[in-house]
Amino acid sequence: METARKKKFERFVDYLKALRLSWTTVVVLAVFLAFADGFVLLAFQGAVGAVERQSQPFHRWIGASLLLVPFFAAAVVVAMILTRRWAGKLSRRWVQGGIAALLIVATSAALGASVEAVSGAYDYSLQTRHIDLMVATHSLHNTGTSLFGQATPLTTPKCDAACQQKHNTIVVHIRSVFMAAKIMLMVNLVLTAWLIAIRGGRLWAAPKRKRQPAVAAVRVPEGSAQPALA
């Protein structure tokens, strides 16, 4: 088992080497995208998230962004691998760069939206506990209300005050995921285009040049005659 895993890992490493990725570009994109999308995620979490998770926003932004850097690096690598497969035979370099930029924006925004969905699910679990506690302690009205307007016994199911608040909360979280995805798409598009332009479009490493063998210098012993030039 260990030998098989080692061979798979070696094949994966050889595959990455064959792609000739510019790892400097990958790291720069991953760091900037992680911190930019991390700020968007923190803003939405502060707007619709649980109260107990809103302390020390600056430290949480730095910590969460650092944790996201490897995931964004993986997203950038996946985008560049797809670019190699779909546009690797194109001769025009700017076309490959444009396709790679769009794929990087798409994969990074999808990753950010997934993180927002997971964070929202955790916030929702905390908020539902608060709602149940409020219903138990403050004796909220438990009158039957419908999720779809006026409720009748034979048409729509009834929902009490706690159920209605939970429904409204989950709707807010679903909307926040789509809004965060739109914002991250725009932010990542501008940021990716800017960073690729600064890097001069260097998405892949330049091919290594073969070194020519150095010609050994001929030493002429002292006192001997120099060869005449023709």
The 10 Å Cβ neighbour count of residue 163 is 17
Quote the CA–CA distance of 172 and 168 in Å, as a whole number: 6
- Contact by Cβ (8 Å): 173, 120: yes
Return the number of other C-beta atoms located less than 10 Å from residue 42's C-beta.
20
- The confidence score (pLDDT) of residue 192 equals 93
CB 191 within 8 A of CB 32: yes
Can you give the pLDDT at residue 147? 37
What is the model's pLDDT at position 116?
A: 94
SS (H, E, C) 87-118: HCCCCCHHHHHHHHHHHHHHHHHHHHHHHHHH
Predicted confidence at residue 68, as pLDDT, reads 95
Q: Which residues of the chain register pLDDT less than 50?
A: 140, 142-156, 215-217, 229-230
**Predicted pLDDT at 52:** 84
pLDDT at 164: 86
Q: What is the pTM of this model?
A: 0.74
